[in-house]
Amino acid sequence: MDLARTASVGGFFALRTTPASGGGHRPLALLYGGRTAPLTACIDRVASRLEAPERRVAASIAHLGLAARLWSIALGPAALCGRIPALPPDALHWDPEAASPDDLWIADPQELPGTAERIREQVQYGHLAPLAEAVRGDGNVSPRLLWGNAGSALAGAARELVAWARANELPDVARRTRALTAELFDHADLRSTGAPHGPAFRRRSCCLYWRCPGGGLCGDCVFDQVPGSTR
């Protein structure tokens, strides 16, 4: 497993094996166990930066960003190397004040087979399910919206990987990315979040970004135009 090669795809795919300076990293297991101050602070910053009109808007956007990071650090090495790092919540450290790639680190990760089953186990079950519960405890965000964010984040990671693979003339990486993504979407929590189940995904829910001042529609938004606007 070559994490340096995976990092070359982009910052969201990078996973540090030593902590960055700053000292703000904490195991994600603490957040999932109820010590949610870092998540609260992250949502506060998003709300301030975007001038979010409601707490749930900022909570959704913060969740979408972390979900994208979590999918990327598993899908990337699976597609490029056929292996993934084990990502137990007590070993994966997060600093909500740091930008990628400095926000996440894990020491000497165990290598696992890069199958969709393993990615689902490590990311969807190990992180996204408890993360959704933590976010719902902070903001009034529906489970459907949060799983829509998870689907959007997965499709976004796949889209970036496929584009990188094409630019670097690596058709096998693009093919593996599409196959893994399609298999990951074949789950009750993700299957109905949007379609098609790959890089061209369009979601069936909205992350609420359009409600922020100057906000707009994301590329995979369920809406064709900002609600309330006229053509």
175-184 residue pLDDT tens: 999 999 999 9
Model confidence at 140: pLDDT above 90? no
pLDDT grade, residue 216 (50/70/90)? confident
What is the tens place of the pLDDT at every residue in 98-118? 888 999 999 989 999 999 999
What is the tens place of the pLDDT at every residue in 8-36? 999 999 999 988 777 789 999 999 999 99
* 85 contacts 73 by C-beta, under 8 angstroms: yes
User: Which one-letter amino acid corresponds to residue 83?
Assistant: R
Model confidence at 73: pLDDT above 90? yes
Candidates 199, 197, 135; CA nearest to 161 is: 199
Model confidence at 76: pLDDT above 90? yes
Model confidence at 223: pLDDT above 90? no
The CA–CA distances, whole Å, from 111 to 37, 85, 172 equal 31, 5, 21
Write a three-state SS string for 61-84: HHHHHHHHHHHHHHHHHHHHHCEE
Beta bridge mates, 85: 111
What is the tens place of the pLDDT at every residue in 41-52? 999 999 999 999
pLDDT grade, residue 125 (50/70/90)? very high
Torsions phi, psi of 133, nearest 5?
Answer: -65, -40
